[in-house]
């Protein structure tokens, strides 16, 4: 690690980057009963830490390399760092970005003078195309994370933290995509203060470091979730993995709901809006505190970026209550008779109802979809469900049912009028203009669509719930079609949310 310490100490990042503050988070600290600090990399000129590594790498280029120009593949933040660094150094830059990149990031890169090529649906698609252009145009590739100079540039974040807080630190929480940031911070911190724990944080649907550590080798994920687009990487970098194996103490994975709740936590304490990848470390910190019942410790989370589309805030707000354990979602069967709704609401006591969906269907029983506020205390949800069941209500917990949260709560129309013999799938595909049309065209006309629900979340992905009338034997052909398109999907025909609120009835 001596080599990295020297590189970090000599890094040239401060020609363009700023030493960002380490801000105390009073709200989080009080609620978690620990001293929580946020390293505000969202305050960099490009609203992300990526500028550090990009500039450090490009400042080390020879005159001959700089004259050739540079190219990078990025979902946005690295692209902005390369663009600003190129402008500062007078180097021509070409950036390959996935077509799913949020518009705010594309505009920011263009504003800094770089040329852009939009290609593919993920970082990996953009990376492969950038490598083709390297060979074709003779450009120098600036890797977003798998490069010693880039890692050293990101390592200056760790150097600043130890300079800004020289007291006891229990752990530093670092978001992980390709691994450049966690590798740089771990290399420096473990050399200077080996007692400090380095906790890597990943989305549970893009945990390439977690899976690699379990396998004791780098693995290629078949699919990655697109919500936290800044860390949607299928394989950890080779050099970051080498460092992480030695110096990362633990990996925490978090859900989309937990990330959304962390975005709100950061907003409450700083009045700034983090992007999903930017809030990842805070989500991991909260989960770590709960998991280990930690008290009176100093914890630091990297707020790594703030490049979020405004339209995505609707989706974030919808999922935050569940992520904070402040909303319980239930399917409840109640007698279809006068006074039933009133009786049910009385059983809720002083709890507020956040959502109530109902449609007449059966003369005997009514099926309602209800959202109810929770205290957030451990066991509160279980106690409520037990209380309702004790009073004779049939209750199905929908709080963690993705189908219910993404689709059922927004659908109207209720059950199908007859047994439709339908197979139901939830499908996730990269969002861009015309994506929904392309999805429908790819299915052709061989199956009749009996159910369809789609909402544009202003995000990098679209989610469809689709029912098709087809025999069981045809399901494999449909799934092969989805595999060929590269779409992530789940068979949902047996999902209780579908069966209780949208499934066909026997005519």
* Burial status of residue 296 (CB atoms within 10 A of its CB: 0-12, 13-18, 19 or more): exposed
Return d(Cα 487, Cα 455) in angstroms, integer: 17
* Burial status of residue 322 (CB atoms within 10 A of its CB: 0-12, 13-18, 19 or more): buried
Q: How many CB atoms lie within 10 A of CB 242?
A: 14
Task: Judge whether 304 counts as a catalytic residue.
Answer: yes
8 Å CB contact between 181 and 230:
no
Q: Which two tokens stand for residue 304?
A: 């790594």
Return d(Cα 157, Cα 145) in angstroms, integer: 14
CA angle, corner 357, sides to 351 and 363, nearest 5?
115
SS3 category, 314: helix
Determine which helix (DSSP H) or strand (DSSP E) holds 383, and give its type and residue range: helix 380-390
Q: What secondary structure letter does DSSP report for 504?
A: B
State the DSSP string of 45-80. TTSBTHHHHHHHHHHT--HHHHHH-EEEE-SSHHHH
Q: How many CB atoms lie within 10 A of CB 312?
A: 22
Task: Judge whether 122 counts as a catalytic residue.
Answer: no
| Annotated catalytic residue within 74, 304, 374, 426 | 304
Return d(Cα 436, Cα 482) in angstroms, integer: 14
| Annotated catalytic residue within 39, 50, 105, 287 | 50
Residues assigned a catalytic role: 50, 304
């Amino acid at each position: 690690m001596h080599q990295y310490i020297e590189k970090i100490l000599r890094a040239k990042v401060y020609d363009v980057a700023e030493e960002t503050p380490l801000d105390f988070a009073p709200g989080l600290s009080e609620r978690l009963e620990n001293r929580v600090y946020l390293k505000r990399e969202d305050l960099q000129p490009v609203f992300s830490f990526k500028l550090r590594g990009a500039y450090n790498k490009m400042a080390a280029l020879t005159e001959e390399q700089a004259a050739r120009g540079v190219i990078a593949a990025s979902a946005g933040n690295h692209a902005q760092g390369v663009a600003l660094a190129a402008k500062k150094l007078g180097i021509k830059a070409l950036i390959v970005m996935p077509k799913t990149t949020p518009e705010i990031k594309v505009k920011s890169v263009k504003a800094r003078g770089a040329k852009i090529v939009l290609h593919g649906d993920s970082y990996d698609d953009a990376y492969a195309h950038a490598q083709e252009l390297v060979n074709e145009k003779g450009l120098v590739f600036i890797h977003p994370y798998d490069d010693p100079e880039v890692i050293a540039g990101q390592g200056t974040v760790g150097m600043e933290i130890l300079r800004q807080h020289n007291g006891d630190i229990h752990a530093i929480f670092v978001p992980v995509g390709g691994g450049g940031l966690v590798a740089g911070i771990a290399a420096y911190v473990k050399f200077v203060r080996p007692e400090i724990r380095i906790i890597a944080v990943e989305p549970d649907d893009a945990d390439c470091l977690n899976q690699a550590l379990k396998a004791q080798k780098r693995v290629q994920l078949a699919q990655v979730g697109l919500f936290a687009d800044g860390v949607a990487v299928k394989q950890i970098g080779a050099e970051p993995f080498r460092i992480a194996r030695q110096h990362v103490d633990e990996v925490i994975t978090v859900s989309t709901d937990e990330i959304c709740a962390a975005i709100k936590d950061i907003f409450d304490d700083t009045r700034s809006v983090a992007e999903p990848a930017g809030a990842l470390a805070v989500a991991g910190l909260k989960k770590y505190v709960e998991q280990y019942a930690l008290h009176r410790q100093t914890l630091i989370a990297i707020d790594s970026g703030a490049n979020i589309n405004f339209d995505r805030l609707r989706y974030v707000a919808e999922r935050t209550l569940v992520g904070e354990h402040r909303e319980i979602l239930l399917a409840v069967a109640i007698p279809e008779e006068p006074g039933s709704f009133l009786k049910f609401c009385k059983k809720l006591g002083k709890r507020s109802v956040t959502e109530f969906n109902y449609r007449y269907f059966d003369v005997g029983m009514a099926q309602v979809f209800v959202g109810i506020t929770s205290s957030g205390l451990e066991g509160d949800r279980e106690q409520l469900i037990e209380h309702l069941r004790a009073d004779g209500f049939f209750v199905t917990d929908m709080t963690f049912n993705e189908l219910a949260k993404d689709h059922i709560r927004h659908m109207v129309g209720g059950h199908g009028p007859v047994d439709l013999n339908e197979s139901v799938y939830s499908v996730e595909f990269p969002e861009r203009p015309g994506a929904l049309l392309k999805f429908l065209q790819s299915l052709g006309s061989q199956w009749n669509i009996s159910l369809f629900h789609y909402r544009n979340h202003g995000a990098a992905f679209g989610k469809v719930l689709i029912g098709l009338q087809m025999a069981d034997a045809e399901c494999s052909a449909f799934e092969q079609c989805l595999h060929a398109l590269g779409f992530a999907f789940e068979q949902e025909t047996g999902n209780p949310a579908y069966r209780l609120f949208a499934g066909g009835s026997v005519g």
